[in-house]
């Protein structure tokens, strides 16, 4: 609690510094999110549960003070708080949304997350130390609930070389979306109880041509795994109304060092191609898992959205093959500005499972987004998600409804 109060005090001081023009170009933003989720299984003993909460977040992003030599410094901070608005019939359910009491197992009523980031800039290179919110192939935040999964460490991003972005850093702690305290990194399924001292990150994004981007990333979770990623993004424009975009990626992950989580052997191949025709988008995706083990996921509800088939099921199991069919529509074409829809269906088979033969699974998503772009209510947005999952081999089906109301106010 003392640490949280100290962090809050630093945030207030940084805001005061911005008001006093000691730090230039400060940005202060308040975000509010109302989140409701209802998961309905048709199979026991999988529990049905509902969650409804409201969060409020304040972020302060300073500009940079006058340089000391070639280096300029700044300070960013966040305060995030969520309150539950309802209780479950089964308070022992762990839905990954808010903390559960370590003694009673019941879900807590409130949750607070605080973070500070010291930043330094030389030319077009920025170094950030403290709270990090990376969106990289080898480590990524999660914002699917009310408060996000974030990290602590140091990260460098350089754009000094033309058409090139270099990323490098080290992450040593994760703050999960349903926690209030940082923890060491390990795998989401921790088979041995062992943890790593840190995740080393290095990556290069390079624009090979105006319509072609390539990237390479390395993520080394010390004494657990080494992960390599190669990605490609291509866009071909046939006309103002018609274009084709393709994303493809390859992961190779092997256990390393002391192999604290045992053998890891996974290769993931995936691509997604989207045909854009006016307000319509038609998509086809494929993903193949090879090797003896599943794709390893970091602890703390850390997603892997650079996998084409990332969803509620996620389709990352050993030797799994999956195909995606997708359709998007932008309703502004018929005069409803700010409204868009995404639908997709993913089906998978060939899952390696020693206990069940012919394991298959599938997922259907419907997502509706509406955002107000101008006027008095600018910054207000709504989202509805329908998620239908079917674990055929296990005989489990789930329906899930999610409602988000988001509002952003920039001071």
CATH number at residue 22: 2.40.160.10
Beta bridge partners of 7: none
Distance between CA 393 and CA 325 in Å, rounded? 22
Q: Both tokens of residue 282?
A: 């038609």
pLDDT of 322 higher than 50: yes
pLDDT given for residue 18 in this prediction:
40
Distance between CA 23 and CA 320 in Å, rounded? 51
Q: Average pLDDT of the chain?
A: 91
Rg (CA), the chain: 22
The percentage of residues in the chain with a pLDDT greater than 90, rounded to a whole number, is 79
pLDDT given for residue 24 in this prediction:
65
**Residues 168-179 pLDDT 10s:** 999 999 999 999
Question: Which residue carries 């049905």 as its tokens?
Answer: 48
**Residues 36-58 pLDDT 10s:** 999 999 876 778 889 999 999 99
Half-sphere exposure of 7 (CA within 13 A, CB side): 21
Pair 204, 125: CB distance under 8 Å: no
Confidence of residue 2 (pLDDT cuts 50, 70, 90): very low
Distance between CA 200 and CA 140 in Å, rounded? 14
Cis before 45 (ω within 30): yes
Q: Which of 9-18, 81-90, 318-327, 379-388 has the lowest mean pLDDT?
A: 9-18
Candidates 180, 288, 196, 274; CA nearest to 235 is: 274
Beta bridge partners of 28: 60
pLDDT given for residue 14 in this prediction:
46
Half-sphere exposure of 122 (CA within 13 A, CB side): 6
pLDDT given for residue 95 in this prediction:
83
Tally of structural domains, the chain: 1
pLDDT of 1 higher than 50: no
**Residues 149-168 pLDDT 10s:** 999 999 999 999 999 999 99
Q: Which of 43-47, 256-260, 358-362 has the lowest mean pLDDT?
A: 43-47
CA 41 to centroid of chain Cα atoms:
25
pLDDT given for residue 12 in this prediction:
45
pLDDT given for residue 94 in this prediction:
82
Residue 43 exposed, middle or buried by CB count within 10 Å (0-12, 13-18, 19+): exposed
Q: Both tokens of residue 220?
A: 């080394």
Candidates 64, 68, 38, 42; CA nearest to 51 is: 38
Say how many residues make up the chain. 411
Residue 249 domain boundaries: 2-410
pLDDT of 314 higher than 50: yes
Q: Both tokens of residue 335?
A: 């005069």
pLDDT given for residue 23 in this prediction:
58
Mean pLDDT over 273-290 rounds to 98
pLDDT given for residue 5 in this prediction:
45
pLDDT given for residue 399 in this prediction:
95
Higher pLDDT, 393 or 304: 304
């Amino acid at each position: 609690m003392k640490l949280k109060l100290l962090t809050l005090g630093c945030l207030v001081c940084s805001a005061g510094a911005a008001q006093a023009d000691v730090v230039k170009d400060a940005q202060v933003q308040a975000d509010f999110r109302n989140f409701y989720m209802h998961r309905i299984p048709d199979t026991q003993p999988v529990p049905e549960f509902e969650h409804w909460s409201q969060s409020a977040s304040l972020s302060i992003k300073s500009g940079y003070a006058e340089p000391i030599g070639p280096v300029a410094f700044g300070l960013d901070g966040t305060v995030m708080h969520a309150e539950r608005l309802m209780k479950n019939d089964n308070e022992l359910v762990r839905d990954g949304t808010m903390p559960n009491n370590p003694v009673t197992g019941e879900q807590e009523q409130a949750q607070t997350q605080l973070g500070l980031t010291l930043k330094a800039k030389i030319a077009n290179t920025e170094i950030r130390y403290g709270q990090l919110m990376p969106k990289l192939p080898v480590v990524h935040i999660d914002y699917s609930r009310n408060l996000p999964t974030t990290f602590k460490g140091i990260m460098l991003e350089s754009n000094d070389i033309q058409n090139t972005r270099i990323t490098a850093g080290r992450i040593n702690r994760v703050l999960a979306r349903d926690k209030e305290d940082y923890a060491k990194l390990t795998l989401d399924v921790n088979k041995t109880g062992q943890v790593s001292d840190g995740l080393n990150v290095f990556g290069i994004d390079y624009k090979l041509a105006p319509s072609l981007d390539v990237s390479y990333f390395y993520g080394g979770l010390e004494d657990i795994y080494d992960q390599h990623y190669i990605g490609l993004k291509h866009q071909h424009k046939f006309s103002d109304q018609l274009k084709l975009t393709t994303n493809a990626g390859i992961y190779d992950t092997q256990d390393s060092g002391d192999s604290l989580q045992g053998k890891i052997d996974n290769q993931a191949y995936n691509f997604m191609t989207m045909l854009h025709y006016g307000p319509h988008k038609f998509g086809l995706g494929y993903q193949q898992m090879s090797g003896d083990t599943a794709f390893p996921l970091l602890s703390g509800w850390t997603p892997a959205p650079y996998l084409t088939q990332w969803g509620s099921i996620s389709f990352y199991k050993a030797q799994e093959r999956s195909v995606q069919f997708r359709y998007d529509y932008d309703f502004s074409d018929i005069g409803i500005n700010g409204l868009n829809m995404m639908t997709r269906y993913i089906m998978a088979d060939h899952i390696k499972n020693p206990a069940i033969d012919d394991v298959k699974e599938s997922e259907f998503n419907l997502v509706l987004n509406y955002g107000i772009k101008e006027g008095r209510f600018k910054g207000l947005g709504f989202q509805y998600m329908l998620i239908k999952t079917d674990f055929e081999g296990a005989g489990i089906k789930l329906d899930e409804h999610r409602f988000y109301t988001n509002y952003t106010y920039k001071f």
